[in-house]
Structure 1
Amino acid sequence: MSKISAPARTLRALMLAAAVGWAAANIFSPAHAETVRVEPARVEAPAFASDRLSVEVIGQGPDVILIPGFASSREVWRPLAQRLSATHRVHLVQLAGFAGEAWTHGDGAFIQPAVDEVARYAKTLNKPAIIGHSMGALTGLLVAQQHPEAVGKLMSVDSLPFFSAMYGPQATAEGAKPFADQAAAAILNADAAGFRTQQERGAVGLIRNEAARPAMVEWSMASDRHAMAAAIREVMTTDARPGLAAMTTPVWAVYASDANGGAPAAVADAMWGREYAALPGVKLVRVDDSRHFIMTDQPARLDALVDEFLAKAD
């Protein structure tokens, strides 16, 4: 992993920013932050208790599970969830350890226990659609691989089956471990001021919408550092590509392109095309003029794609 191409360096820079400030950027729709709105009825999922996640339910209709990304609040999905609640029963997941949600697992495993609990919850529903962002999409992908009977369809929003592929096509999970350890150490060892600076810098590379960045930083600051370190270490060393070829769940992979500070279109097309090549029937959709947080940078475009995704009979 010592030789990295120029296009890969562009994406590597984004990955390293994500390693120390990813979830800080997860406010899905800051443009809606000051909008006065009528809140749909909401309830906590009454029959589901977990120390790995909580679920808020709004609306009635076909089931849709929304999973936020690294260090993000479920509020990242709030504008989309409110809109969908008119026609769907929306299940807003909050992963433990992120954005103030309690974390009781120290330096223990993060991703697989979260996958297990999302799957356990999904099995109480009627083959829900899952929409996940970033690490939340990786979680959904693993649920679909390990528990295909529990998932109706999956939309992955700016997420890869192996995040460290951003280092280049030669990357492996084993080779990514030193970088993953460095990312985790950067999270754990920074003092409060330094950590905030990390998050603020990371947010710039991950979202174009300047108004959204401060709220994203606060979500990250409210996250448990041990949970963040465990999660980023596992995200960077989890390779879900070997399971793609056997998948039967319909998958849409929506990804971002930004000629001004993000991944150029040609680089993004090559990356997503290569990394999802083994997945039968995957639909790849590029969203231009957006960085990692498509829901914030291009909310109308993502809304339209979600509507098309949910309406399609698979």
Structure 2
Amino acid sequence: MVLAGGAALVLSGCATGSVGQEAEAPFDGARIMVWTSGQGRDLVLIPGLSSHPEIWDDLVARLGAGYRVHRVHVRGFAGLDAGDNASGPVAAPVAEEIAEYLAFNDITSAPVIGHSMGGTIGLMLAARHPALVERLMVVDQVPFMGVFYGPAGTTAESVRPVADMTRDRMASADDAGWAAGAQAAIAGMVLTESGRAGPVRHAVETDRRVAANAMHELITTDLTGELGRITAPTTVLYVNGPNIPLSDAQLDGVFQAVYAPLSGVALKRIPDSAHFIMIDQPDVFEAEVRAFLD
């Protein structure tokens, strides 16, 4: 996992997707590939489970000049080989490799935006390497996903059997079942029908073993106890998507409760959007990111 003082820094070829047309040759690590483009203030973008960094392309284009953008591609997701993510946990070791990437490149106190699982990685990075994160935006993610998989009082241990079943079901899916599952999942995560093709393709091209292990890790990882270590100003955007059986007020209460240990966190529910806010509400998302960066 470690970069051994930078010995694993290798510049290599392309990943699936549009990222890279204007980007520098990527950093090629054991668990991540990072595409870098532009000049100016460093900005780190981390996509979610099974996602490709091209989900950030529209935002980067809208932000324009003045940013040196680092788009992370997690190995095993969206057509990229699994590398060291082929077995075991994914999010935690990826967070560590991002920290090593930033430190090796003398990038300190950079804004970090993470979507979904990328938000979990961002929380890990900000809690475990606070000097590296200037400010943090978490897009539609909670510090403990297990709360959505069990009754009140669910813990990482009590939800483990559910996580085990979820992992085994994902890992054992055949090609047809995996593709059908991707179509169904993305339909609930992207309201804009014309915007679903990319995320579906990314999911279909994902190594299901990596995705299964990552989902298991997300369900059984409770970062609540680490939130107090985060010193970076933090913004959390979230949505009440079509698959959430809660009223807006109830969901607001959930996010207020789970993020209560994080002092000064700014919570904002984005209406008329599902999980991929950058696709369903690109104008609103741009405005929120600009306010966050300012």
| TM-score normalised by length of structure 1 | 0.82
| Shift, 1:168, TM fit | 4.2
| 1:73 equivalent in structure 2 | 52
What amino acid maps onto 2:94 in structure 1?
A
Is this contact kept in 2: 1:66–1:93, CA < 8 A? yes
Answer yes or no: is 1:296 the counterpart of 2:275: no
SS in 2 for 1:116: helix
- Of 148, 159, 174 in structure 2, the residue corresponding to residue 191 of structure 1 is 174
| 2:160 equivalent in structure 1 | 177
Q: Which runs of 4+ in 1 moved over 4 A?
A: 260-263
Cα deviation 1:87-106 (Å, max 9, x = unaligned): 21111110100001111333
SS in 2 for 1:174: coil
| 1:226 equivalent in structure 2 | 209
Distance across 1 between alignment mates of 2:30 and 2:121: 16
Aligned residues: 271
Is this contact kept in 2: 1:40–1:59, CA < 8 A? no
Matches within 5 A, 1:102-121: 102-105=81-84, 106-121=86-101
Q: CA RMSD in A?
A: 1.8
Distance across 1 between alignment mates of 2:87 and 2:73: 19
Is this contact kept in 1: 2:135–2:232, CA < 8 A? yes
What amino acid maps onto 1:43 in structure 2?
E
What amino acid maps onto 1:272 in structure 2?
F
Matches within 5 A, 1:46-61: 48-61=27-40
| 2:143 equivalent in structure 1 | 161
Cα deviation 1:153-189 (Å, max 9, x = unaligned): 1000001011111234411111121111111112111
| 1:240 equivalent in structure 2 | 223
- Of 109, 116, 122 in structure 1, the residue corresponding to residue 102 of structure 2 is 122
| 1:88 equivalent in structure 2 | 67
Cα deviation 1:172-215 (Å, max 9, x = unaligned): 11112111111111211111111111111111221211122232
| 1:99 equivalent in structure 2 | 78
What amino acid maps onto 1:296 in structure 2?
I
Is this contact kept in 1: 2:186–2:196, CA < 8 A? yes
Cα deviation 1:285-308 (Å, max 9, x = unaligned): 110111111111111111000000
Is this contact kept in 1: 2:108–2:131, CA < 8 A? no
Distance across 2 between alignment mates of 1:223 and 1:205: 18
SS in 2 for 1:296: helix
Answer yes or no: is 1:145 the counterpart of 2:127: yes
**Where does the alignment leave 5 or more consecutive residues of structure 2 unmatched?**
1-17
What amino acid maps onto 1:115 in structure 2?
A
| Shift, 1:75, TM fit | 0.7
| 1:19 equivalent in structure 2 | none
Q: Which stretch shows the higher mean deviation, 103-112 or 215-224? A: 103-112
Cα deviation 1:32-83 (Å, max 9, x = unaligned): x9xxxxx9831035xx441111111111111100000000000111111222
Answer yes or no: is 1:42 the counterpart of 2:27: no
Distance across 1 between alignment mates of 2:64 and 2:72: 15
Is this contact kept in 1: 2:51–2:199, CA < 8 A? yes
Distance across 1 between alignment mates of 2:180 and 2:21: 36
Question: Could you say if the C-alpha distance between residues 41 and 193 of structure 1 is closer, same or farther in structure 2, counting changes exceeding 3 Å?
Answer: closer
Q: Which has the higher contact order (CA 8 A, sep 6+)?
A: 1
| 1:215 equivalent in structure 2 | 198
Is this contact kept in 1: 2:128–2:229, CA < 8 A? no
Is this contact kept in 2: 1:40–1:85, CA < 8 A? no
**Where does the alignment leave 5 or more consecutive residues of structure 1 unmatched?**
1-32, 34-38
Is this contact kept in 2: 1:73–1:99, CA < 8 A? yes
Distance across 2 between alignment mates of 1:178 and 1:144: 29
Q: Which stretch shows the higher mean deviation, 233-242 or 185-194? A: 185-194
Q: Which stretch shows the higher mean deviation, 207-216 or 292-301? A: 207-216
| 1:22 equivalent in structure 2 | none
SS in 2 for 1:62: strand
| 2:238 equivalent in structure 1 | 255
Question: Could you say if the C-alpha distance between residues 242 and 56 of structure 1 is closer, same or farther in structure 2, counting changes exceeding 3 Å?
Answer: same
SS in 2 for 1:144: helix
| Shift, 1:261, TM fit | 5.1
Distance across 2 between alignment mates of 1:89 and 1:83: 14
